[in-house]
Amino acid sequence: MKVDGKDMRPIWFDTASKTVQIIDQRLLPHELIIKDLTSVDEVIGAIKDMYVRGAPLIGATGALGVYISLVQKNNRGTDNEYLELECNRLKDARPTAMNLFWGVDRVRDVVLKEVSYDARVKAALTQALEVVEEEAVNCQKIGEYGLPIIEEISRQKNGKAVNILTHCNAGWLACVEYGTATAPIYTAFDNHIDVHVWVDETRPLNQGSRLTAWELGKHGIDHTVITDNAGGHLMQHGMVDVVIVGTDRTTRAGDVANKIGTYLKALAARDNNIPFYVALPSSTFDWSITDGIKDIPIEERDPDEIRYVQGLLNDKIQSVLVPPETSPAANHAFDVTPARLVTGFITERGICKATQEDIMALFPDKKI
Ligand code: MRU
């Protein structure tokens, strides 16, 4: 996507230096810093500390991480035990997003088919870059399939702005291009449909107010940052036409794990008869489970992410303490929205209802 006229992605392979490079998302929107990833330890750190975040991007980073494991200093060449160890370390970086396991395993599996070191390195890079490109195309298709939803609302409103509420950052920064939840929004905007986005700030790390607002602003899309608690009020007053969110893991029966607070938006949407869509590439489905509340591991992060708030002060990014120094805090990073609250899934193969029957009809090739 374009940032100040320049094409940008959150991750890429620099062919000149043969290095994986990323945007350090911790510092956005105030600083745009690029970092190199040259070892598995650096990749794990970047995922854990959320230099890179968002399910599809974590998957792409994990995929490139397997390539890095083969070329980093002190690599152990064609040693399979070493490869498994590094892959397992990558997969342990964050527990909720399905894409991480999917991306790492996909590259690992092609590497294991090659015998020589050079062939392994080549296969790893080719496959990892395929993952990156495929996710970009998948998100573009999500945009195309999601467009009619926004078009129809716009038609019903006689061309007045369609108000879309989104939670967290499910934009291109969280993917490779277009985003998941934002893909239909970008596509609608590019097709001259009047849209306005309510951006949940998404405490504690403010992926909404820092990242979604930045992305939308750079694309010229009208948006307003709101507190995480405002959505229900706006819905009661007819100020939200549709909710579109992303997901980190969705079961084959349609239960959706996404950033903490998503469930409350789904409840409010249902109470106010507002459609609640989840946009995702198939790499985010966990085909092995049906019960999201029981079976999706929910990450618990450092309570300091809640206790401290980061922002720009005197031209410097700084952190300030909010609660009393001694008050404990609990940082559950995701929640699960049951399938019954989801109007539909927008995927790279089209839209389906949030039922096992409809999901599997769209993805019959995904064996259980
Ligand atoms: O903790 P994060 O920032 O990695 O969480 C990201 C989300 O919850 C996104 O909504 C999700 O990955 C959507 S897919 C683009």
Question: pLDDT digits over 254-309, tens only?
Answer: 999 999 999 999 999 999 999 999 999 999 999 999 999 999 999 999 999 999 99
248-254: average pLDDT = 98
* Residue 89 and residue 44 in contact, taking contact as beta carbons nearer than 8 Å: yes
| pLDDT tens figures, 191-232 | 999 999 999 999 999 999 999 999 999 999 999 999 999 999
Could you say which DSSP state residue 202 is in? -
Minimal-distance CA residue to ligand 1 atom 15: 170
* Residue 184 and residue 278 in contact, taking contact as beta carbons nearer than 8 Å: no
Tokens of 315: 């031209």
246-254: average pLDDT = 98
Distance 269 CA to ligand 1 centre (A): 20
pLDDT band at residue 72 using 50, 70 and 90 as cut-offs: very high
CB atoms within 10 A of CB 116: 10
Q: How far is CA 248 from CA 102, 224, 257, 263, 338, in A?
A: 12, 24, 6, 13, 14
DSSP-assigned states of every residue in 53-108: -SHHHHHHHHHHHHHHHHHSTT--TT-HHHHHHHHHHHHTS-SS-HHHHHHHHHHH
367 pLDDT higher than 80: no
Start-end of H helices in the chain:
40-48, 55-71, 80-91, 98-111, 117-156, 183-190, 213-219, 231-236, 262-271, 292-295, 304-307, 356-362
The structure tokens 């459609």 sit at: 275
pLDDT at 256: 98
Mutate which of 48, 51, 140, 168 to test ligand 1's pocket (most atoms within 8 Å of Cβ)?
Answer: 168
At a CB cut-off of 8 Å and minimum separation 6, what does 134 contact?
none
Q: Is the CB of 143 under 6 A from ligand 1?
A: no
104-128: average pLDDT = 98
2 pLDDT higher than 90: no
Q: How many helices (H) and strands (E) does the chain have?
A: 12, 20
93 pLDDT higher than 80: yes
Distance 322 CA to ligand 1 centre (A): 24
pLDDT at 81: 98
Q: Is the CB of 37 under 6 A from ligand 1?
A: no
Minimal-distance CA residue to ligand 1 atom 8: 259
Q: Is the CB of 10 under 6 A from ligand 1?
A: no
| pLDDT tens figures, 125-183 | 999 999 999 999 999 999 999 999 999 999 999 999 999 999 999 999 999 999 999 99
Q: Any idea of the CA torsion for 107, 367, 291, 92, to the nearest 10 degrees? A: -10
Q: Is the CB of 204 under 6 A from ligand 1?
A: no
pLDDT at 357: 98
Instruction: Report percent pLDDT > 70 for the chain.
Output: 100
The domains of the chain, with CATH numbers, are 2-134 (1.20.120.420), 142-366 (3.40.50.10470)
Catalytic residue, chosen from 241, 248, 255, 335, is 248
Phi/psi at 130 (5° precision): -65, -40
| Catalytic (active site) residue 248 | yes
Q: Is the CB of 281 under 6 A from ligand 1?
A: no
Q: Is the CB of 170 under 6 A from ligand 1?
A: yes
Q: Which atom of ligand 1 is nearest to the CA of 94?
A: 4
Distance 57 CA to ligand 1 centre (A): 9
* Residue 287 and residue 367 in contact, taking contact as beta carbons nearer than 8 Å: yes
pLDDT at 122: 98
Q: Is the CB of 174 under 6 A from ligand 1?
A: yes
The structure tokens 């946009």 sit at: 279
Q: What predicted TM-score, i.e. pTM, was given to this entire model?
A: 0.98
pLDDT at 338: 98
320-324: average pLDDT = 98
Minimal-distance CA residue to ligand 1 atom 6: 54
Q: How far is CA 102 from CA 26, 131, 284, 292, in A?
A: 24, 10, 8, 18
As a whole number of angstroms, the distance between CA 102 and CA 108 comes to 10
The structure tokens 């820092």 sit at: 210
CA dihedral for 44, 45, 46, 50, sign (positive or negative): positive
As a whole number of angstroms, the distance between CA 244 and CA 230 comes to 16
pLDDT at 199: 99
